[in-house]
Amino acid sequence: MAIIVNLDVMMAKRKMSVTELANEIDITMANLSILKNNKAKAVRFTTLDAICKALKCQPGDILEYVEEDQDE
């Protein structure tokens, strides 16, 4: 997929664990792990909003577009 989720990078910068973030934004640890490990097919804007508030960052700090090779 061309969208990369850099949630783990922002969490490390803020020294926040998956458990802490999941509790703060009221999401299951399983769903947060799916998002963090680039396995999610979609993300709700309300979830993205909550993550940005909790980590004090912008959506662009978490989501990155990387052009894929045409061979893939």
CATH (domain of 34): 1.10.260.40
Range of the domain at 61: 3-65
- Asked if the structure places residue 17 within a domain, the reply is yes
Domain count, the chain: 1
Reported pTM: 0.87
- Asked if the structure places residue 71 within a domain, the reply is no
Match 């009221």 to its residue by tokens. Answer: 26
Number of neighbouring beta carbons within 10 Å of residue 5: 20
Q: What are phi and psi of 67, to 5 degrees?
A: -65, 135
CA-to-CA separations, 35 to 7, 55, 69, in angstroms, rounded: 8, 15, 23
| Residue 72 reports pLDDT greater than 70 | no
- Residue pLDDT, tens place only, 21-62: 999 999 999 999 999 999 999 999 999 999 999 999 999 999
